[in-house]
Amino acid sequence: MRVLIVGNMSGQLAVASKIAMDRGAKVFQVDSIGQATATLRNGKGADLLLVDVSHDIAALIAQNEAEHIIVPVVACGVSTDPRTAANAIRQGAQEFLPLPPDPELIAAVLAAISDDQRPMIAHDPATKAVIQLAEQIAPSDASVLITGESGVGKEVMARYVHQKSRRADKAFISVNCAAIPENLLESELFGHEKGAFTGALARRIGKFEEADGGTLLLDEISEMDIRLQAKLLRAIQERVIDRVGGSKPVPVNIRILATSNRNLAEDVRAGKFREDLYYRLNVVNLCLPPLRERPGDLVALSTHFVKKYAAANGLKPKGISNAALEAIKSNPWRGNVRELENAMHRAVLLSAGPDIEVADIRLPDGSALTATSFGSGHLATASQAILAAQAVQTAAPNLVGRTIEAVEQEMILDTLKHCYGNRTHAAQILGISIRTLRNKLKLYTDAGIDVPAPGVNEPRFVYG
């Protein structure tokens, strides 16, 4: 985890820096937002910007985006009132961190921003077999293609391979090929020279150079345009890249990992993916089975997530009732580990007792986990059926006759209140992006609806 602090390092920011380093983060610092963008442009990447709230956060994000640099921002400040914190979030900060910093709060922020804290949990024989193969090939420099349905944990596996490799002490850089517009992806990967295109204000180091000496993950490689695949193939084969607008090749020393939730062999036959690139990437294939085919992992993962989110929210440790465990094991979890994690996160917040019960486990649309949502061939226990019926009887009168928009608004605002105004936390529970949540909240605010500010009614800020 790389943290760039933007602001004067005297006082509480220096304390926050030390706490982050004690938690394993690599921390560096600049004084101004201009220096921050220049540092990122020159290849000294960051996973998080911790910015003094006195700086112009909106301007920082705008100038980063002008250079096609997307890094999450967390604002921080001493004795800042809720309105200032709310304004920082309106400017684009994902969260606000009060100073002086709380060590556990710093750790929660780092865990919320980074995936590094996600351990590889494997109790099912199917998962253990994949991990055994991963450990066997990790010390090599062979390219690895990690496949599986969306949400099975492909990026977690990629990080695991990196951590077990000889490059573990070097950078791990991830690029989501599906999230970056096609016309920007080449610059993101290979960098560009000043004036290479409109908006190229200065030389920009790409992800290949940023990962030099370490590992580069090309996430969802199947979404890459076929024309760019030819340039990628050359970079992998010859270990040199050409910056956009550049006049000479730049050597790089990296290991390539790639993921895909599609069948690349079929894409090759359909002419959507280069065959030579497919074989270059697929030296070793790690295929992660869907969660429904690895039932031995369900209880272990559920227990892990309940423990994680109880601690993250300052709650007492919770158990999972036998009826709830049976419901978890019976559900098909089409969203795989990602869906299970979100469900357990919601359950921790909704549970009023010492144990998670069936009625506490909600699906992404907010409905209760009932017998109809279980996989084929499975039946709910009597206690599950009773709890599910009670949940339906309670929920139905509140929904009949109401519009979808009204129900959605109530769900969003209630969740936000439950999270004490924490936008990132609420978005994770709701299963939507932070951008979507902010857009919804802006519509509500413009309509004169009261939207909870960050930290409202909470003695401290919490992160999920």
User: Percent of the chain, pLDDT > 70?
Assistant: 88
Nearest Cα residue to 152 out of 296, 347, 264, 294: 294
Contact 212, 254 (CB under 8 A): yes
Dmax (CA) for the chain in angstroms is: 71
Report, as an integer, the average pLDDT of 24-48. 85
User: For residue 270, is pLDDT > 60?
Assistant: yes
pTM of the model as a whole = 0.68
Reported as a single tens digit per residue, the pLDDT across 353-386 is 999 999 899 877 777 775 444 443 333 333 444 4
Q: Please count the CA atoms within 13 angstroms of the CA of 118 that sit on its side-chain side.
A: 18
CATH architecture classification, 2-113: 3-Layer(aba) Sandwich (3.40)
Rounded to 5°, the CA angle 157-117-283 comes to: 15
User: For residue 153, is pLDDT > 50?
Assistant: yes
More confident of the two residues 9 and 180: 180
95 forms beta bridges with 74
Nearest Cα residue to 452 out of 81, 82, 72: 82
Reported as a single tens digit per residue, the pLDDT across 213-263 is 999 999 999 989 888 999 999 999 999 998 888 888 899 999 999 999 999
Reported as a single tens digit per residue, the pLDDT across 320-329 is 999 999 999 9
User: For residue 462, is pLDDT > 50?
Assistant: no
Report, as an integer, the average pLDDT of 149-177. 92
- Where do you find CATH 1.10.8.60 in the chain? 294-399
Backbone angles phi, psi at 306, to 5 degrees: -65, -45
User: For residue 393, is pLDDT > 70?
Assistant: no
Q: What is the pLDDT of residue 377?
A: 36
More confident of the two residues 104 and 390: 104
Q: Which of 94-98, 144-148, 225-229, 453-457 has the highest mean pLDDT?
A: 144-148
User: Percent of the chain, pLDDT > 90?
Assistant: 40
Q: What is the pLDDT of residue 398?
A: 52
More confident of the two residues 184 and 146: 146
User: For residue 405, is pLDDT > 70?
Assistant: yes
Report, as an integer, the average pLDDT of 280-309. 94
- Integer Cα distance of 28 and 41 in angstroms: 15
Cis peptide bond N-terminal to 125, omega within 30:
no
Contact 229, 277 (CB under 8 A): yes
Report, as an integer, the average pLDDT of 394-414. 68
Q: How confident is the model at residue 131 (pLDDT cuts 50, 70, 90)?
A: very high
User: For residue 461, is pLDDT > 50?
Assistant: no
Q: Given its phi and psi angles, is residue 171 left (phi above 0), alpha (psi -120 to 50 degrees) or beta?
A: beta
3-state SS track over the chain: CEEEEECCCCCHHHHHHHHHHHCCCEEEEECCHHHHHHHHHCCCCCCEEEEECCCCHHHHHHHHHHCCCCCCEEEEEECCCHHHHHHHHHCCCCEEEEECCCHHHHHHHHHHHCCCCCCCCCCCHHHHHHHHHHHHHCCCCCCEEEECCCCCCHHHHHHHHHHCCCCCCCCEEEEECCCCCHHHHHHHHHCECCCCCCCCCCCECCHHHHCCCCEEEEECHHHCCHHHHHHHHHHHHHCEECCECCCCCEECCCEEEEEECCCHHHHHHCCCCCHHHHHHHCCEEEECCCHHHCHHHHHHHHHHHHHHHHHHCCCCCCEECHHHHHHHHHCCCCCHHHHHHHHHHHHHHHCCCCEECHHHCECCCCCECCHHHCCCCCCCCHHHHHHHHHHHHHHHHHHCCCCHHHHHHHHHHHHHHHCCCCHHHHHHHHCCCHHHHHHHHHHHHHCCCCCCCCCCCCCCCCCC
User: For residue 459, is pLDDT > 70?
Assistant: no
Does the domain made of 125-291 have the CATH classification 3.40.50.300? yes
Reported as a single tens digit per residue, the pLDDT across 38-68 is 888 877 778 889 998 889 999 999 988 877 7
Q: What interhelical angle do 336-350 and 298-312 show, nearest 10?
A: 50
Q: How confident is the model at residue 301 (pLDDT cuts 50, 70, 90)?
A: very high
Q: How confident is the model at residue 22 (pLDDT cuts 50, 70, 90)?
A: confident
Q: In the predicted model, what is the mean pLDDT of the chain? A: 82
**Residue 227 burial (CB count, 10 A):** 10
Tokens read off for 456: 């409202």
Q: Which CATH number fits domain 294-399: 1.10.8.60, 3.40.50.720, 1.10.20.10, 1.10.1060.10?
A: 1.10.8.60
Report, as an integer, the average pLDDT of 268-289. 94
Report, as an integer, the average pLDDT of 298-308. 93
Q: What is the pLDDT of residue 402?
A: 66
More confident of the two residues 360 and 199: 360
Nearest Cα residue to 144 out of 278, 268, 283: 283
Report, as an integer, the average pLDDT of 131-155. 95
- Integer Cα distance of 348 and 308 in angstroms: 10
Reported as a single tens digit per residue, the pLDDT across 69-117 is 778 898 888 766 778 888 888 888 888 888 887 777 777 777 666 645 5
- Where do you find CATH 3.40.50.300 in the chain? 125-291
> Hey, what amino acid is at 216?
L
Q: What is the pLDDT of residue 460?
A: 36
- Integer Cα distance of 207 and 69 in angstroms: 11
- Where do you find CATH 3.40.50.2300 in the chain? 2-113
> Hey, what amino acid is at 160?
Y
Torsion of CA 244, 245, 250, 256, to 10 degrees: 10
